[in-house]
Amino acid sequence: MEHFAKHFIAGAEWNAKQSPWISVEDRLPDNQDIVLVRGEYGGKCTAYLHGKNSGFITYGEDAYKVFGEITHWMPIPKFDE
């Protein structure tokens, strides 16, 4: 049982350290899905993917904060879950 507990705790610690941000090099969101994006200099705002070749369209009052290329994205959390 001690062996099981040790590996369970190690797995839980590994899982807890995972970032919710998804690299645009790993995967892109579906077209037109509104997501949170992060730029290469750390700015964040909402955006949607206009198309793989067209890129992201940023909008909202924080859109000006995203300088440089968009490097990561994540789904907008649902607060009713």
pLDDT in tens, the chain (81 residues): 676 667 677 766 766 678 889 999 999 999 889 999 999 988 888 998 988 788 888 888 887 777 788 999 999 988 875
Residue 11 lies in a domain: no
**What pLDDT was estimated at residue 6?**
72
Q: What is the dihedral of CA 5, 8, 9, 13, to 10 degrees?
A: 180
Residue 25 lies in a domain: yes
Looking at the 3D structure of the chain, how many domains does it have? 1
Domain carrying residue 44? 20-75
**What pLDDT was estimated at residue 11?**
67
Please state whether the predicted TM-score (pTM) of the whole model is above 0.85. Answer: no
**What pLDDT was estimated at residue 80?**
78
Residue 10 lies in a domain: no
Residue 8 lies in a domain: no
In angstroms, the first-to-last Cα distance of the chain is 34
Residue 35 lies in a domain: yes
**What pLDDT was estimated at residue 70?**
92
